[in-house]
Amino acid sequence: MSFECDAILFDLDGVLLDSSECVKNTWRIWGQQRGIPFEKIMAVAYGRRAVETIRLVAPHLDADEEVRPLSEWEAVTTEGIYAIDGASTLVRALPPDGWAVVTSGTRDIAVTRMKCTGLPIPNFMVTADDVVNGKPDPEPYCMAAERMKILPEKCVVVEDSPAGIEAAHKAGMYAIGVAFSHPREALSMADVIANKLSDIQVSDGKSRRFLIEISA
């Protein structure tokens, strides 16, 4: 399948870099300290801001207070953060005004992880710090399109989580799922699914700026 668009909006973790080991270790320790089963946390954590994950799994706790030390720790650690094949090459080939990162992590976390995996810092980035409502709410993707001055229907999103795909669709955007953190069947809401990021190729479009082609 192929799409033409004027902007490509990438989720970060699980799409442009692999932070799964770091994220799991962080939530495992937090869950043990709070008496919350790790499986319960991970069932909702992917694609969501940490504060919203805490609200879901531990409504009895003050999520704003709980999330602060978690975010501070993740903003300085590079342990368990790995590059994803083809990610840096892909985004470096795009014009700076043609792509953005839309992540559920804070800006400090995102910058630390991008630097340690060799990714350029994009001109446009929407993080947990910028929004009131995180994914699966469409606010993060709507904000990215607004900042880029591009209509939502002219954007294509690359995501690895059901929450992110739902957010993209609610924003009126096409969504490409990458089967990294979830199996293909869990990403059935996506317009098309790539087995890995390197299956996504971008070239010049005819009616719009980019042509995105996905090899199944």
Share of the chain above pLDDT 90, in %: 94
- Domain ranges, ordered by start, for the chain: 2-18+81-214, 20-74
What is the amino acid identity at position 184?
A: R
Architecture of domain 20-74: Orthogonal Bundle (1.10)
Grouping H, G, I as helix, E, B as strand and the rest as coil, residue 210 is strand
The closest alpha carbon to 158, from 27, 22, 13, belongs to 13
Residues 8 and 210 sit within 8 Å (Cβ to Cβ): yes
11 counts as catalytic? yes
For domain 2-18+81-214, give the CATH number. Answer: 3.40.50.1000
Please tell me the pTM assigned to this model.
0.91
Length of the chain: 216
What is the amino acid identity at position 168?
A: A
Q: Which of 6, 11, 18, 137 is catalytic?
A: 11
What is the chain's pLDDT, residue by residue, as a tens digit (216 residues)? 899 999 999 999 999 999 999 999 999 999 999 999 999 999 999 889 999 999 999 999 999 999 999 999 999 999 999 999 999 999 999 999 999 999 999 999 999 999 999 999 999 999 999 999 999 999 999 999 999 999 999 999 999 999 999 999 999 999 999 999 899 999 999 999 999 999 999 999 999 999 999 986
